[in-house]
Amino acid sequence: MTDHLSKSQAAEQSENAGSNPSSNPTMGEMIAERFNRRDLMKGILAVSAMAATVSPMAIAAAQGVNTTPSFNFKEISSVSNDQHEVAEGYDADILIRWGDKVLPNAPAFDPQAQTPAKQAGQFGYNNDYLGYIPLDGSRRGLLVVNHEYTNEELMFPSLPGRQDLRNVAFKDMTKDIVDIEMMAHGGSVLEVARGANGKWSVVENSRFARRITAETEMEITGPAAGADRMKTSYDPAGRKVRGMLNNCAGATTPWGTWLTCEENVNGYFWGRVADNHPEARNFRRMGIPGNWYNWGQYHDRFDIVKEPNEANRFGWVVEIDPHDPNSTPKKRTAMGRFKHEGAANIINADGRFVVYQGDDERFDYVYKFVTEGSVDRANPANNRDLLDRGTLFVARYNADGTGVWLPLIFGQGPLTAANGFNSQADVVIETRRAGDLLGATKMDRPEDVEANAKTNMVYVMLTSNNRRTPAQVDAANPRADNRFGHIVEMMPTGGDHASTTFRWEVLLRCGDPAVATVGATFHPNTTKDGWFGMPDNCAVDADGRLWIATDGNAPSKTGRADGVWALETAGPARGTSKLFYRCPNGAELCGPELTPDMETFFVAIQHPGEADEDDPNAKPVTFNTPSTRWPDFKDGVPPRPSIVAITKRGGGKIAV
């Protein structure tokens, strides 16, 4: 780890971040065995030999197959620079930036004179998930935004570089800086509207405007509420907690609420407990303490020696009512505790609500939660506590292309007192360890998981895993040292998302298809700018088409920037990808969200200005020396994470 690694990179590279000690099979092993059996059965080895001399595109053309992608736009260049770029004929307008006013009494942004009180009313840092909730169709609505983490080296002019325990022991940090960071976390609720000129803006002094921070009081609900392991000196009852941390992806619900997901919460805690401490095994599985922040130096609740149970109160899905700025956010513990990347959902045919979730760490699992009750479409208020009761499942992928959802229920199978589980509260607090015991399949960093309501397909973004060894794969497997990731497509049995079985396929192996050893499987129609690596977030538009956002593309890795790609998932063009929008230097693409009429594409640009972290010659970045000053490009103004609204000139649907 170098002195300019971001906290996102630290989360990815940390050797001790929640390691999975189980002997469960890896996704790589399942793919290897799956492809070996299937290829032999279908004679694909012979077809592959023919394709070595005759391209699939030529074969398709000879058969008269139309392989033209359904996405209609002119692809842009993938080469990184200090600007962003969108496809020709579209405008990409900055909607809001870090530090801009959210609450009515918030002051103008002054990067030289930041305070916790100012930041508490301003737009937070590193915007991630975006959700659009209509108020007046696709022209006025609520935009809900996660603020995942902070890059203090880019935020504060007083800091000479990144602060961490290993390199500089937080020597330049102060309590004031820490408190500003805490106010820059959480989320924002914005009322947004599209004007007569087609441009979007944030509605000033909106009654819906809200900032949620690391100090906002929240309610703990579900099986873990009131459990002894949730009790602290601040909350002896174990039913309320201050703040939410590292909120990454998320979702909105049909009843108009916002599901925001806590991911790398381990990084906020420091201290060390003895090996025989009651929470020691739990902490190891979650990678606690991460020591990425020094908040515990000034706030006892982030010191696991002083308040060990505080860490159990983070790592949940939080439900928020954005229509009421005075409502209390609720941590829905029935949905499990791990490093949540998202909470994509769908109403099942029987009316129950199903939420798919990924645990973003190498060798961790894919989950789903099926509610006990059904969604009341006519009376949204009746769904208020729907997510407190239901069954949490973890996925096992079989080599024959089938899969099983394994229920995480106290008292069933190994989830008993003999293995340290004395209640359902213990099961949800230690969801990862419960998955280990049930034999779930180890995945290559499952990030976003999205369900397509038009097709019932479910897509799992597997970002990367550079720690998988050759012993875990063979020639037919996607890759050892999987640096570019892949996408798995799941099909619930009979279209029933509550079913305990499913089928699966590898939709795409990512990376440069021009490099044979990479083993990428993009359609031959994909251009040199169209392929990508490290799929992260995704979105399904109203026509059922899949859009992929990436995190990790950089000149030293792939020779390109991060951005959002359109990906064909069906028909003769399946596997064809096109680059629609590109991020500026150092940034990743988060939160892709389209309005219901598909005329606006909101995207979140996170951590612009970071260095190329895998380039050994890259210079550390600071407030004064970022890799870009996007989006303001003014001396003395640092790069600012921002939301971008993309629209077609003259109006019309995106990419149609």
Which positions of the chain have pLDDT values less than 50? 1-5, 8, 11-16, 37-62, 474-477
Per-residue pLDDT tens over the stretch 515-532 = 999 999 999 999 999 999
**Cα separation, 285 vs 338, whole angstroms:** 9
Q: What pLDDT score was predicted for residue 531?
A: 98
Residue found under tokens 């939410």: 244
Sign of the alpha-carbon dihedral angle for 639, 642, 648, 649:
negative
Q: What pLDDT score was predicted for residue 51?
A: 34
Residue among 582, 589, 538, 535 nearest 560 (CA): 582
Q: How many CA atoms lie within 13 A of 216 on its CB side?
A: 24
399: number of Cβ within 10 Å: 16
**Cα separation, 19 vs 341, whole angstroms:** 17
**Cα separation, 59 vs 51, whole angstroms:** 9
Q: What pLDDT score was predicted for residue 35?
A: 57
On whether the CB atoms of residues 421 and 444 are closer than 8 A, the answer is no
Q: What pLDDT score was predicted for residue 166?
A: 85
Q: Bridge partners of 126? A: none
Q: Are strands 600-606 and 642-648 parallel, antiparallel or unpaired?
A: antiparallel
**Cα separation, 346 vs 579, whole angstroms:** 28
**Cα separation, 1 vs 613, whole angstroms:** 9
Residue among 298, 343, 54, 103 nearest 210 (CA): 103
**Cα separation, 297 vs 291, whole angstroms:** 11
Per-residue pLDDT tens over the stretch 437-471 = 999 999 999 999 999 999 999 999 999 998 877 77
- The verdict on pTM exceeding 0.85 is yes
H-helix or E-strand spanning residue 250: strand 247-252
Q: Side chain identity at 603, as an amino acid letter?
A: V
386: number of Cβ within 10 Å: 21
Give exposure, 196-206, as e/b (b: 16+ Cβ within 10 Å).
eebebebeeeb
Q: What pLDDT score was predicted for residue 614?
A: 83
Q: What pLDDT score was predicted for residue 473?
A: 60
Q: How many CA atoms lie within 13 A of 633 on its CB side?
A: 6
Q: What pLDDT score was predicted for residue 113?
A: 98
Q: What pLDDT score was predicted for residue 347?
A: 98
- How far are the Cα atoms of 334, 339, 396, 406, 435 from residue 409, in angstroms, in the given order? 11, 20, 16, 9, 11
On whether the CB atoms of residues 522 and 576 are closer than 8 A, the answer is yes
**Cα separation, 510 vs 527, whole angstroms:** 13
- How far are the Cα atoms of 124, 197, 557, 593 from residue 192, in angstroms, in the given order? 17, 14, 37, 14
Q: How is residue 508 written in tokens?
A: 């795409």
- How far are the Cα atoms of 157, 341, 625 from residue 638, in angstroms, in the given order? 9, 28, 9
Q: How is residue 228 written in tokens?
A: 């002894």
Residue among 613, 642, 641, 610 nearest 628 (CA): 610
Q: What pLDDT score was predicted for residue 585?
A: 96
Q: How is residue 90 written in tokens?
A: 């579209």
